[in-house]
C-alpha cells in the first residue's frame, strides 16, 4: 500500500506556494469586481429606500454596504493602479477595517 502512495507524482500536491497564473488572477479580480458592484448597487437601493421613507435604519444599511464593499473596491483599484511595491499588508488591514465597520453599520441598521 505504501508503494502506491510513493508512486503518486508530486504534480498532484494540493497545496503549493507557487504563484497563480495571470489568467486565474484576472478571473478572480473580475469575480471580486462583480461582487463589489452588486454590493454598491444594494447600497444605492438602500439609500433610495432611506430617502423615500426617511428610515434611519435604512441609512445605516446603505452606509454599511458602501463601507463593506464600496470602499474596499476603491482601495483595491487604487492599489492595483499605482506602481507601489509592498504595502499589501497595510492595504489589507485598512480594507478589513472598512469591511468590519460596514458590517457593524448593517447590524445596527437591522437591529433598530
pLDDT in tens, 10-41: 444 445 455 778 888 888 888 888 988 999 99
**pLDDT at residue 49, rounded to an integer:** 93
Q: Is 49 helix (H, G, I), strand (E, B) or coil?
A: helix
Give the ranges where 2-65 is alpha helix by DSSP (H).
2-7, 22-53, 56-65
**Residue 66 banded pLDDT, cuts 50, 70, 90:** very high
pTM for the model stands at 0.73
Q: What would the grid cell of residue 22 be?
A: 495571470
Amino acid at each position: 500500500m505504501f508503494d502506491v502512495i510513493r508512486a503518486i507524482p508530486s504534480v498532484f500536491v494540493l497545496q503549493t506556494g507557487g504563484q497563480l497564473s495571470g489568467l486565474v488572477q484576472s478571473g478572480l479580480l473580475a469575480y471580486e469586481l462583480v461582487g463589489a458592484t452588486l454590493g454598491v448597487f444594494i447600497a444605492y437601493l438602500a439609500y433610495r429606500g432611506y430617502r423615500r421613507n426617511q428610515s434611519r435604519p435604512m441609512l445605516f444599511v446603505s452606509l454599511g454596504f458602501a463601507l463593506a464593499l464600496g470602499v474596499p473596491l476603491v482601495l483595491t483599484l487604487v492599489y492595483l493602479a499605482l506602481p507601489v511595491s509592498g504595502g499589501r499588508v497595510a492595504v489589507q488591514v485598512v480594507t478589513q477595517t472598512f469591511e468590519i465597520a460596514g458590517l457593524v453599520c448593517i447590524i445596527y441598521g437591522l437591529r433598530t
